[in-house]
Structure 1
Amino acid sequence: MTVSVRVPASSANLGPGFDALGMALAMYLEIEAEVSEETSIAASGRDAHLCGRLDRNLILSTIFDLLSASGRSIPGLKLTLKNEIPLGRGCGSSAAAIVAAVLLANELGQLGWDEARLLREVSRIEGHPDNVAAALLGGVVASAMQPDGEVAAVKIAAPSVWQFLVAIPSASLSTSKARGMLPDAYSKADTIFNVQRSALLMGAFAAGRGDLLRLAMQDRMHQPYRMEACPLLKALLPMSGKNGVLGVALSGAGPSVLLVLDKETDPQTIIAEAQKLSGDPGLEVVVTAVAEGAVSQNR
């Protein structure tokens, strides 16, 4: 059996929706898997030297762990992998790997898992549902993990007239390090601040109200605490609400930054401005779009 999967990148939080909101982005992890006597990976694309490692490989370990737990076994896997998602940059690379692995295990082991079970498994492995729910379902997704591990998620379509940029700095930042920067508790005022803006943000996406994004993408729960480790955010936040930039937010745990533009704005103008403000000669700014969810097929 040969199974192929295609999983999009994702940008979590979108500002105030910490561990709750995510958006699928049109950068992809594509994998073709074939049962083999020996395990091997042929990787191409971004960070191919890391994606192609056999040791500490998240995709391989997840597949074999799930198959073993389900009473299935295979001798080995031959993976052919093409990656467009930058690793360690806040664009959901680990979430894409987890979603790809769960989909591959489901097909290879003929587990018969439905969407709800797939969502539960990817969220369990990731530890929170924001990135994995967006990567699995596509679009803009609000999700919540329940005490029993079940995940409730709802997907909405982003307005087609908005444009999206991801500014990717040259330096990476691990999610564990970024999470370690956060406080153990928040004030009542900061909690209310984020609840209000999270609600407003989903309303703005649903109604296509780009004029609300500057306010709705503000945050007090994670961005201020990560600012020092994510200097690009500090450099680009002043662009929000000006010259066609509707909103700016840290992409996931950072250090990449998501920018939302109106339909009339030339993205190349904003890219040039972002590169100038960043002071990072290695900065890459990608023009992207909201993506559909992950797909898998076998033959």
Structure 2
Amino acid sequence: MITIKVPCSSANIGPGFDVVGLSLSIWLTLQVNIVTTTTTTDTTPPPHTLNCNITYEGEGASHVPLAADANLITRTALYVLKCHGQRTFPRTTHVHIVNPIPLGRGLGSSGAAVVAGVLLANSVSKLGLSKDRMMDYCLMIERHPDNVMAAMMGGFVGSYLRELDPADMERKEIPLAEVLPEPAGGINTGLRPPEPPLGIGHYIKFGWAKEVKAVAIIPDFEVSTATAREVLPEVYSKKDMACLSPITGTSGIFNLQRLAVLTTALTRSPPDAELIFQAMQDKVHQPYRKHLIPGLPEILASVTPQSHPGLLGICLSGAGPTILALATHNFEHIAEMIMARFKQEGITCRYELLEPAYEGAQVIES
């Protein structure tokens, strides 16, 4: 029996668009049982697609596919297995998925699934891959490192993709369909998948003050990452990217200024609420996504450390629609105020009080 646990994650954290991610304490769990003895012969057809039986409970249970070549977790695992010359799961593998992470809400559900799939392949076939090497496989599927890096490594994480050398550059834009092809009939799907280059992504873990917790206010509707990215401009103007100092008259890069402060401000105890609140402002993605999330501008503007003692900062979690509020106390009041504002738009919500998942993804064998 193998248990795989992967935390959810929140990307961007205000000014850190596509740069920082925070793992949080809602855990996707896989309970994996490999039957090593069987009375069937090698010529007996496997009882389940690609030798894998999937059962599922939790978020999305009514519509998440349970075929091994269709479920994101097992498709990811099959990609890794095929890169190592294995076309199927060991006979017979049972994967029970328990998923409390809301789907399409900006809490890294797909990133957690990709990480879980890579860990699943590494575990069932004893590939001996390090977390760093497993991240290369994750980044072939999830091309933005913020969610998957936080989910794999844990904590508050900054990451970047390295510039590839000329040989690797030929493979840099491999179509995702070549990595995770649509199911087309069993073991011949994706016959020769591309292996990832070494060391695609790099990261650093930032500190985190022990007092700081995250309140996730989760609306009851989804915003797909693809839709949220479509509303972003292809090119940002100088006005979008810069701010004008009233003192010096010189321009500075708005998000970079704040991110440089935020990554240190969140490590200090006691936290400086005014410093963190201002450092969590953003001009790169939140202003463009306000039409996808009714009430977003009003919420971001009206919930402040002055109006809600205990609050440190507030932002859209990933692509949304979840709102992430960092705070040291008064958690329920902060959540209820934001939920009340959403209710004015006819939107119901729930909230979760979360802490950083410092250890990241885990594999437990028993």
Shorter-normalised TM range: over 0.9
Aligned 8 A contact 2:299 2:338 in 1: yes
Q: Which residue of 2 aligns with 1:231?
A: 294
Paired residue type of 2:261 = L
Q: Does 1:53 align with 2:119?
A: no
> Which is higher, the Rg of structure 1 or of structure 2?
2
TM-superposed deviation, 1:122? 1.4
Aligned 8 A contact 2:80 2:137 in 1: no
| Aligned partner of 1:157 among 182, 186, 207 | 207
TM-score, scaled to structure 2: 0.77
Aligned 8 A contact 1:107 1:298 in 2: no
Q: Does 1:172 align with 2:222?
A: yes
Q: Does 1:221 align with 2:284?
A: yes
Aligned 8 A contact 2:4 2:362 in 1: yes
Give the paired residue count.
Answer: 296
Paired residue type of 1:93 = S
Q: Does 1:282 align with 2:348?
A: yes
Structure with more of its chain in helix, by fraction: 1
TM-superposed deviation, 1:266? 2.2
| Aligned partner of 2:332 among 263, 268, 284 | 268
Q: Which runs of 5+ in 1 are unaligned?
A: none
TM-superposed deviation, 1:52? 5.4
Aligned 8 A contact 1:87 1:93 in 2: yes
User: CA-to-partner distance for each residue in 1:245-293, whole Å, 9 max, x for gaps?
Assistant: 211100001111100112xx32221222112111245211111111121
Aligned 8 A contact 2:342 2:348 in 1: no
User: CA-to-partner distance for each residue in 1:70-106, whole Å, 9 max, x for gaps?
Assistant: 1124255321111110000000000000010011111
Paired residue type of 2:315 = A
Q: Give every structure 1 segment of 4 or more consecutive aligned residues whose post-TM-superposition deviation is greater than 6 Å.
A: none
Aligned 8 A contact 2:272 2:312 in 1: no
| Aligned partner of 1:258 among 324, 327, 337 | 324
Q: Does 1:70 align with 2:131?
A: no
SS in 1 for 2:267: helix
SS in 2 for 1:60: helix
Q: Does 1:121 align with 2:137?
A: yes
Paired residue type of 1:295 = Q
User: CA-to-partner distance for each residue in 1:115-147, whole Å, 9 max, x for gaps?
Assistant: 211222212210010000111111100000112
TM-score, scaled to structure 1: 0.93
SS in 2 for 1:221: coil
Aligned 8 A contact 2:207 2:264 in 1: no
TM-superposed deviation, 1:189? 4.3
Paired residue type of 2:96 = T
User: CA-to-partner distance for each residue in 1:29-55, whole Å, 9 max, x for gaps?
Assistant: 000123464232221222222345336
Q: Which residue of 1 aligns with 2:24?
A: 25
